[in-house]
Chains A and B, each alone.
Chain A
Amino acid sequence: MARVFIPATLRDRCDGRSEVEVEGATLRQIVENLDAACPGIAARILEGEAVRPDLALAVNGVVGAEGLLERVPDGAEIQIMPAIAGGGAG
């Protein structure tokens, strides 16, 4: 079971809830199961076969490199956040 934090503007899909608990061992399963709980939400998160280019899914606060294949440990927290870049320090 993972705890998905729902951003404010997606809560209309989840009866106003800010967190939803769903099953899933990978992010793909999490998104599929989330869509079952909150119909239509997957269409907002995905574009084609991948996460929307301007979004990122974090597992326990960390955005991994494996996209929807990222493993999700039991009890994990999932955040849906904008994809953002860094600068550079030299």
Chain B
Amino acid sequence: MRAAAGSRRIVVGATINDEPQEFLADERDSLLEALRERIGLTGVKEGCNNGNCGACTVILDGRLVCACLVMAAEVEGSAITTIEGIASSEGLHPLQQAFLDDAALQCGVCTPGFIVAAKALLDVNPHPAEDDVRLWLAGNLCRCTGYDKIVQAVLDAAGDGKESA
């Protein structure tokens, strides 16, 4: 490996949770590092830092991504939704409420990633079957729950959506 060279600071402009903002990042920051250490959105969790656990799942320009696999510099001009942007001033998102009602979390560290991923699922498939939920969430690891109550919560949240629609 070559000797470490100092890296540059860069300014990145992006819309984060509906707020346009500019933030200072290191040129080698991942989006995960920038969100957590530079912006303070620590609801985005680091579980593995190589795209295998889904704890850092965010929505980038409408697509689900692992924030650890995106460079901060790449999000210039993009729109990002993190777990902090899921609830509104009116209250919790139906998925968040379903996770609470169904006891779909234990330690809670994977929960933000699951909720963001599940939201992206319901955005494209409002009434998924159990297998759809399991397949969609296969990129998110949970070690506490055995997934049972998480899958149930997503199905329940989808059901709520149907009733209120």
Interface positions of A (Cβ within 8 A of B): 90
Interface membership of B107, Cβ < 8 A? yes
- Interface of B (DSSP majority class): loop
> A90: shortest Cβ distance to chain B, in Å?
6
Q: What 0/1 readout, one digit per residue, does chain B (92-117) give for beta carbons within 8 Å of chain A? A: 00000000000000110000000000
**Can you list 3 residue pairs at the A/B interface with Cβ under 8 Å?**
A90-B106, A90-B107, A90-B144
Dominant SS at the A interface? loop
In the bound complex, residues from chain B placing their C-beta under 8 Å from that of A90 are 106-107, 144
Measured as residues with beta carbon below 8 angstroms from the partner, the interface class of chain B is under 10
Number of CB contacts from chain A to chain B under 8 A: 3
A90 to B109, CA, bound (A): 11
Per-residue interface assignment for chain B, residues 75 to 107, with 1 indicating a CB less than 8 Å from any chain A CB and 0 otherwise = 000000000000000000000000000000011
Residues of A within 8 A of B106 (CB): 90
Smallest distance from the beta carbon of B59 to chain A beta carbons, Å?
29
Q: Given the complex of chains A and B, what is the CA–CA distance between A90 and B107 in angstroms?
A: 6
A90 and B142 alpha carbons, distance in the complex (Å):
11
Cα(A33)–Cα(B149), bound, Å: 56
Q: CA A90 – CA B18 in complex, angstroms?
A: 35
Give the Cβ gap from A22 to chain B, nearest Cβ, in Å.
47
B111-152 CB mask vs A (1 if < 8 Å, else 0) is: 000000000000000000000000000000000100000000
Question: Of all chain A residues, which has the CB nearest B144?
Answer: A90
Ranked nearest first, the 3 interchain pairs of A and B with the lowest CB-CB distance are A90-B106, A90-B107, A90-B144
The smallest beta-carbon distance between B13 and chain A, in angstroms, is 40
> Which A residues are CB-close (under 8 A) to B107?
90
Name the distance in Å between B143's Cβ and chain A's nearest Cβ. Answer: 10
> Complex formed: what's the CA distance from A90 to B105 in Å?
10
